[in-house]
């Protein structure tokens, strides 16, 4: 499906100015919800995928990081710890503090664990090891159970630290760039010859004019421009002489050479 001219939260929202220390995240599912909202990648709209089959709710706000691409073909998922639920499709700043390794039905589907960078209760956390142990148990249990009644297998591995989380974000950004960002075309010193007639016309216009072409259409005063003073003086003196003796000049111009008079024979001859 072709994209419309409307803004797309995955492609058009910046990933942030201090990546990977602080990133933007778009919230799809609010904290405490059983509705599984999901970004429709073609339209950029929020699709209601399902209501959770199990008697569980999302423990924290859940969404994705824009301009990233994970191994499952979706944007990088992020779970954002903060005091309050937020509306779907709002975006906020997130500090990545850890990475939860997860395999969903045989596919790698890791989750970034982050805290809201502008929530005074959570913003001072820097690493997942600083969270209470029970908080990590709750998060792990939710993802282990939320698909059980759908007969789908989910496996949770260990939580990794903030270094691994930031590394995963940079890798997902690089994957997104390789797939979606157009490469800059190579510059060429050769002209575009697709329109050869136009090209030839342009080239002719750039050729220097010959001396005869340059003199055409110029007045005598314009032609004299660029001559040395001696050349101008010679030209002037000849013209002055012509003006002073016009009859002589005309006679000289119209003079017809006389044929020699035949010699008369003498008596002696």
> Could you tell me if 99 and 113 are in contact, meaning their C-beta atoms sit under 8 angstroms apart?
yes
- Report in angstroms the alpha-carbon separations of 22 from 31, 150, 167: 21, 35, 13
- Structural element, H or E, at residue 98: strand 91-104
The proportion of the chain whose per-residue pLDDT surpasses 70, expressed as a percent, equals 66
The pTM of the full predicted model, rounded to 2 decimals, is 0.68
pLDDT at position 249, please? 47
Q: Average pLDDT, whole number, for the chain?
A: 81
Position 183 scores a pLDDT of: 72
Instruction: Kindly state the average pLDDT of the residues 73-79.
Output: 97
Least confident of 44-58, 82-96, 111-125, 233-247: 233-247
Alpha-carbon gap, residue 103 to 90, rounded angstroms: 27
Question: What are 159's strand-pairing partners?
Answer: 100
Q: Which of 74, 65, 89 is nearest to 16 (CA)?
A: 65
Query: What's the CA gap between 107 and 98, in Å, rounded?
Result: 20
Top pLDDT among 4 and 136 is at 136
Q: Token digits for 203?
A: 């080239």
Residue 123 has pLDDT above 80, yes or no: yes
- More confident site: 214 or 120: 120
Residue 264: predicted pLDDT: 55
d(CA 9, CA 91): 9
Instruction: Give me the torsion for CA of 67, 72, 76, 79, rounded to 10°.
Output: 160
- pLDDT confidence of 188, banded at 50, 70, 90? very low
């Amino acid at each position: 499906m072709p994209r419309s001219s409307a803004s797309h939260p995955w492609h058009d929202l910046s990933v942030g100015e201090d990546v990977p220390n602080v990133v933007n995240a778009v919230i799809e599912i609010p904290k405490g919800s059983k509705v599984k909202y999901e970004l429709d990648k073609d339209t950029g709209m929020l699709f209601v995928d399902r209501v959770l089959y199990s008697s569980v709710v999302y423990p924290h706000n859940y969404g994705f990081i824009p301009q990233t691409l994970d191994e499952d073909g979706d944007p990088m998922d992020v779970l954002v710890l903060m005091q309050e639920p937020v509306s779907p499709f709002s975006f906020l700043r997130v500090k990545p503090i850890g990475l939860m390794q997860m395999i969903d039905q045989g596919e790698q589907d890791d989750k970034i664990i982050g805290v809201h960078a502008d929530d005074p209760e959570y913003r001072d956390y820097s690493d997942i090891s600083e969270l209470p142990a029970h908080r990590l148990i709750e998060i792990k249990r939710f993802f282990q159970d939320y698909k059980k009644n759908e007969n789908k297998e989910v496996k949770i591995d260990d939580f990794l630290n903030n270094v691994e989380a930031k590394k995963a974000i940079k890798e997902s950004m690089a994957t997104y760039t390789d797939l979606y960002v157009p490469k800059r075309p190579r510059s060429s010193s050769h002209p575009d010859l697709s329109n050869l007639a136009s090209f030839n016309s342009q080239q002719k216009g750039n050729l220097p004019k010959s001396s005869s072409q340059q003199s055409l259409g110029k007045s005598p005063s314009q032609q004299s421009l660029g001559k040395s003073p001696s050349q101008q003086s010679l030209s002037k003196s000849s013209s002055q002489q012509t003006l002073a003796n016009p009859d002589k000049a005309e006679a000289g111009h119209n003079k017809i050479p006389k044929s020699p008079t035949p010699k008369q024979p003498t008596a002696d001859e």
